[in-house]
Amino acid sequence: MRMAGRLRRLGPALDVYFCFNAVNLAAATVQRLQEQSRDWAIAFYEPTRLEAGSRPAWVWGRGLGWLPAGPLTLLLLLLLCWLGLVRRIYIPHRREGGRLLAAILARVPQILLLDDGLDQYRDQPRALRPEQFSPGTPIYLFSDAVAFRAPWCRHFACRELGPFPVAATQLPPDLAAAGLLIDSPGVELLWRQPGASPRPLLLLSHPYPGKRRWHGEVDLERFPGCSAEGLIQGFPNPVAIGESFTLIIGLTRRDAAWPLWVGLPATVDDHFRSMVRVLCARRSATVLEEAAGSQEMGATGSHTVVQPATGMEAESLAARIES
């Protein structure tokens, strides 16, 4: 008890980050670089979503290291909060956190949110529940398509991180590929007919098994150090991609003359669908294939949009954002 009292008198001195995927990790890294934070910090990661090679050596200042998020490590964090040692927690959402995470967040002076990928472009975020956080809670968001940010973001104090930090990359010379397929929901709508896909075809599997959709033939698989966000900017041959954060990078940074095939599943909400249509319309070499399921397309089949309309679609999206 005497030691606990001494620790409390030191005051909050630790920043804690929860990084469940690569977007969270990038947001946390950019935030610390922008704000030049030199506070002690520790990061909890999701082992099934972040590979060992994707977790960089701690270069955020006074870093204590990485811990896998789990019952035992969260109990350790709860103890640190109870001792009054945690100053801030940066977290993308509270989904599936349970009572243990709720107890942790109830004992920390400040909660800040990290970008989680596509949610800022959806009518209703899938992971984050805005009502669980006080109005004006800071949220750090990447700024690749600010004009298309959904209205729910106004509940928070948005802090801009700038463009997602990845540069264009090319395939190694010994890895020849005529086409690139970035596995994600909706990609199963593309290149379905025999001989439709360029060969040899390189497949980048989604890091989360639940979002893998491609079951067709491929010639090459993901290789170590391969970045989907980098390749979609630097690979000039045809690229097929579905609903993913990498799609935003492709639509905003990929050369408009390079072929891009986009597949959207029926589960895409109206805001995200409208945004993709508008961005595709600005490109000269893009094919958009949409699964049926929305009221405008019926219940079965698919709908191909080679040159999406821009006028009414853009006006409708602008009205939704302003409302």
Please report the pLDDT score of residue 221 as a whole number. 72
| In-domain check, residue 263 | yes
Same domain, 281 and 249: yes
Same domain, 154 and 255: no
Same domain, 197 and 304: yes
Q: Which domain holds residue 197?
A: 179-317
What are the tens digits of pLDDT across the range 91-110? 998 876 678 999 999 999 99
| In-domain check, residue 171 | no
Stronger pLDDT, 82 or 292, i.e. the higher one: 82
On average, the pLDDT of the chain sits at 82
Same domain, 156 and 186: no
State CA 267 to chain mean position distance: 17
What are the tens digits of pLDDT across the range 21-56? 889 989 998 998 888 877 788 889 887 776 655 555
Residue with tokens 């009572």: 99
Q: What is the CATH number of the domain that holds 149?
A: 3.40.50
The mean-pLDDT minimum among 7-11, 111-115, 154-158, 246-250 falls in: 7-11
Please report the pLDDT score of residue 310 as a whole number. 47
| In-domain check, residue 298 | yes
* Number of compact structural domains in the chain: 2
Helices 270-281 & 245-253 angle (0-180, nearest 10) = 30
Kindly indicate the confidence band of residue 286, based on its pLDDT and cuts at 50, 70 and 90: very high
pLDDT at 297 over 60: no
Q: What percent of the chain has pLDDT over 90?
A: 49
Stronger pLDDT, 50 or 257, i.e. the higher one: 257
Please report the pLDDT score of residue 322 as a whole number. 56
pLDDT at 278 over 50: yes
pLDDT at 232 over 60: yes
Interval 182-197 mean pLDDT: 87
| In-domain check, residue 169 | no
258-261 long-range Cβ contacts below 8 angstroms, 24+ apart: 258/285, 259/285, 259/286, 259/287, 260/285, 260/286, 260/287, 261/190, 261/191, 261/286, 261/287, 261/289
